[in-house]
Chains A and B, each alone.
Chain A
């Protein structure tokens, strides 16, 4: 599977108007195939612009987006092709459903790819399975289902294009804790069984910490931090200065350090914190 490379990417909104805004400022970035990346940053930091560059919905003001080493804007055909290779699930995707039945809606993407009917059917079934949409819903109208179900249908609709890269913008926004957990599990399972690249945009630090192998933190149109969850969450002050939270467990570990308990910098989950504390106590009492 191919890698993505952004080269000195720059994007300016509403150029030449009073509303002109630099959304991406000289971003250079490599996303190797198969990685699970979380993209963080507060609203307006450039996350949404960045992900819309990945599938060519936006055209760079300067710089290039390379997919498998080739510029995605090199031709009209290439640009159309990239839409199917890099699947983009927008925020609140449930509001984009439009077909009469769930099946037809999931089939919209593969239909646009002009695939044979049998292939489409297989893809719809597979992606419905991955996204957690039950086949018994296939004939239902998507508009009559619950918000959580609709969202899964919309995600299945993008998965059905079998993209090499799946980009999800805030897929868990507005879901309750159980809904979040099970959707994230679905995404993880999809990642493991297809081996595709995942780019997950989220505000939830706990989610980023537990799901992704690499975190990218954006600030003012640039990548401000890039590293493993351990590396990124060991810089709580920087994260806070960017208007971001740190996971509760990381904040707790920091408060403990201030109280003289020596703990490693890399704690961000309650389970791991508890484990570390237990081993420390063992160490002290010996």
Chain B
């Protein structure tokens, strides 16, 4: 697969800070992949996200998006329209007082012709299931709905990559589900590359790849099953594992030979139920 985002030996420190938030990080994101980036607060995961669309420029090293170097002024707009970003606080990324006007914001900035903007806005709103709300005032919507509007606002740019920086941190369980299933549907329908930054372990279960960031470095990188089996290490990093993994882990400690990578409730239940049919025989 082609690499759409390539991060090469990148270090970053904020202008007024002495220490690097990211320390010599290298990472390649293949087209069409779903990557989850996990890390505790202050691990540098949000900085990593902002480096992907030229909101931040690496202090050292290089970030390229579709081969475009993010540090070049001329690449700014092409990079940003390729990498759509959704942030944590839904209130602080909605610009307009009417849903559809907000979704139109990005294509307007790109100088798209008005009939085409209309088409893109309607399409984006349908994709996130918010078309009926197009004339509503965003501040009266629920957190999950606002976040879907934010996603639609990004989709209207027709980006290739969607970066979501803790999109569910401020939402209730219902809102969280809304947003995650929207992202899942988008992936299924468009094959978009998705980068999900989170500290909710269970949101990573569906990812192709989980990367754990700690103290500005990538400390784990693998399929969710692989990463979550390292229970002790994750805990030491201030992270947690899903209840499924923890149950399996407890049973392993008691001496049972069980795989730790059955992450979904169903997969895990199958493994555990297997124990009983075996021992009954």
A and B in direct contact, judged by CB atoms within 8 A: yes
* Residue B254 interfacial (CB < 8 Å): yes
In whole angstroms, what is the CA distance A284 to B278 when docked? 10
Given A252-B243, A256-B272, A274-B247; A148-B41 close (CB under 8 Å): yes
**Which one of A61-69, A73-81, A173-181, A223-231 contacts B?**
A173-181
B169 close to chain A: CB less than 8 A: yes
Q: Is A248 on the interface with B (CB-CB < 8 A)?
A: yes
Decide if B40 touches A178 in the complex (CB within 8 Å).
yes
Verify if A214 is at the interface (C-beta below 8 Å from B). no
Residues of B within 8 A of A147 (CB): 41
- What is the size, in residues, of chain B's interface with A at 8 Å between Cβ atoms? 39
Tell me whether B199 is interfacial, beta carbon within 8 Å.
yes
Are A248 and B272 CB-contacts (below 8 A) given A43-B174, A175-B41, A285-B279?
no
Take A174-B170, A278-B251 as given contacts and tell me if A252 and B269 are in contact as well, using a CB distance cutoff of 8 Å: yes
With an 8 Å Cβ cutoff, the count of chain A residues facing the other chain is 39
Q: Report the bound CA distance from A203 to B175 in whole Å.
A: 11
Give residues 259-286 of A contacting B (CB, 8 Å).
259-261, 270-271, 273-275, 277-278, 280-281, 284-285
Contact of B202 among A175, A248, A260 (CB under 8 A): A248
Residues of A within 8 A of B175 (CB): 43
Determine whether B78 belongs to the interface, using a CB cutoff of 8 Å to chain A. Answer: no
Q: Judge whether A281 and B247 touch: CB under 8 Å.
A: no
A255 near B: Cβ within 8 Å?
A: yes
- Nearest neighbor of B268 in chain A, beta-carbon distance: A252
Q: Out of A43, A177, A252, name the residue touching B265 (CB < 8 Å).
A: A252
Bound together, the chains give a CA A177 to CA B106 distance in angstroms of: 35
Which of B42, B143, B272, B273 has its CB near the most chain A CB atoms (within 10 A)? B272
CB <8 Å contact, B273 and A176: no
Contact string, B238-257, partner A, CB cutoff 8 A, digits 1/0? 11101110110011001010
A30-47 interface code vs B (CB 8 A; 1 in, 0 out): 000000000000110000
> Which residues 141-177 in B have Cβ within 8 Å of A in the complex?
142-143, 169-170, 172-175
Judged by a CB distance under 8 angstroms, whether A14 is at the interface is: no
| B243/A206 in contact, CB under 8 A | yes
Interface residues of A in 180-196 (CB under 8 A from B): none
Chain A residues with Cβ below 8 Å from B272 are 252, 256, 261, 277
Residue on B nearest A259 in the bound complex, by CB? B273
Complex Cα gap A249–B254 (Å): 18
Chain A residues, CB < 8 A from B244: 248, 252
Which residues of A sit under 8 angstroms from B232, Cβ to Cβ?
none
The answer to whether A146 has its CB under 8 Å from any CB of chain B is yes
Q: Which residues of A contact B199 (CB under 8 A)?
A: 176-177
Contacts of B42 in A (CB 8 A): 146
Residue of A176, A203, A258 near B238 (CB, 8 A) is A176
A271 contacts which chain B residues (CB < 8 A)? 246, 250
Does the CB pair A256–B273 fall under 8 Å? yes
Closest to A267 in B: B247
By a CB distance below 8 angstroms, the chain A residues around B279 are 281, 284-285
Q: Considering the complex, give the chain A residue whose CB is closest to the CB of B88.
A: A174
Given the contacts A43-B172, A43-B175, A284-B276, A176 and B254 also touching, CB distance less than 8 Å: no
Other-chain residue from B142, B247, B280 in contact with A249 (beta carbon distance below 8 A): B247
- In the assembled complex, which residues on chain A have CB atoms less than 8 Å from the CB atom of B39? 176
Chain A residues with CB below 8 A from B238, complex form: 176-179
Judge whether A221 is part of the interface by a CB distance below 8 angstroms: no
B247 and A252 contact, CB distance less than 8 A = yes
Chain A residues near B254 (CB, 8 Å)?
274, 278
Tell me the chain B residues, 14-46 only, with Cβ under 8 Å from chain A: 39-42
Of A106-114, A134-142, A239-247, the one contacting chain B is A239-247
User: Which B residues are CB-close (under 8 A) to A280?
Assistant: 276
Within 8 Å of chain A (Cβ to Cβ): is B96?
A: no
Q: Decide: A277 and B275 in contact? CB cutoff 8 A.
A: yes
Q: Which of B238, B243, B273 has the most CB of A within 10 A?
A: B243
Contact A177–B40 (Cβ < 8 Å)? yes
Whether A251 lies near B40 (C-beta < 8 A) is no
27 contacts between A and B (CB under 8 A): A42-B172, A42-B173, A43-B175, A173-B169, A174-B169, A176-B238, A177-B40, A177-B238, A179-B238, A206-B243, A248-B242, A248-B244, A249-B246, A251-B243, A251-B265, A252-B243, A252-B244, A252-B247, A252-B268, A252-B272, A255-B265, A255-B269, A256-B273, A259-B269, A261-B273, A271-B250, A277-B251
Chain A interface residues toward B at CB < 8 A: 42-43, 146-148, 173-179, 203, 206, 243-245, 247-249, 251-252, 255-256, 258-261, 270-271, 273-275, 277-278, 280-281, 284-285
